[in-house]
Amino acid sequence: MVFVLLPLIAVAIVYVFLNRGRKAVRAFFYILGRNAGESVFDANRGAMRIGFHRASQHNLAMIDCANKHFGGSQLRLIGAARQDGFTQ
């Protein structure tokens, strides 16, 4: 039973962290779009197109933005985007 449960828990943990990372990159793209003058709808639509592969390509830029503007916190970046209308 333990041999089945441990891998399932490990997979769930990895999925949660990958999903949060993708959400942070989407929030980063949402903020970039809003700063470029896009509407909330267009910025959300552009952010929604970010998948796991593309999120990994832009992860360093998101981390740099989080470090410079949000004290290194991905959750603060996501929170700021949500306050502005980010819906994902």
**What is the per-residue pLDDT across 46-59, written as a single tens digit (0 to 9) for each?**
999 888 777 778 88
Q: Give every CB contact of residue 76 below 8 A, 6+ residues apart in sequence.
A: 66, 70
Whether 76 has a pLDDT exceeding 80, the answer reads yes
What percentage of the chain carries pLDDT values higher than 70?
A: 100
* pLDDT score of 38: 95
- How far apart (Å, rounded) are the C-alpha atoms in residues 39 and 25? 18
Q: Report the pLDDT value the prediction gives residue 62, as an integer from 0 to 100.
A: 93
Task: Determine the Cα–Cα distance for residues 61 and 13; give it in Å rounded to an integer.
Answer: 24
Q: Mean pLDDT, the chain, as a whole number?
A: 90
Are the C-beta atoms of 25 and 75 separated by less than 8 Å? Answer: no
Which pLDDT score is estimated for 34?
A: 96
What are 19's two structure tokens? 């999903």
Q: Which pLDDT score, from 0 to 100, does residue 50 have?
A: 85
Q: Are 47 and 33 in contact (CB under 8 A)?
A: yes
Question: What pLDDT score does 66 carry?
Answer: 95
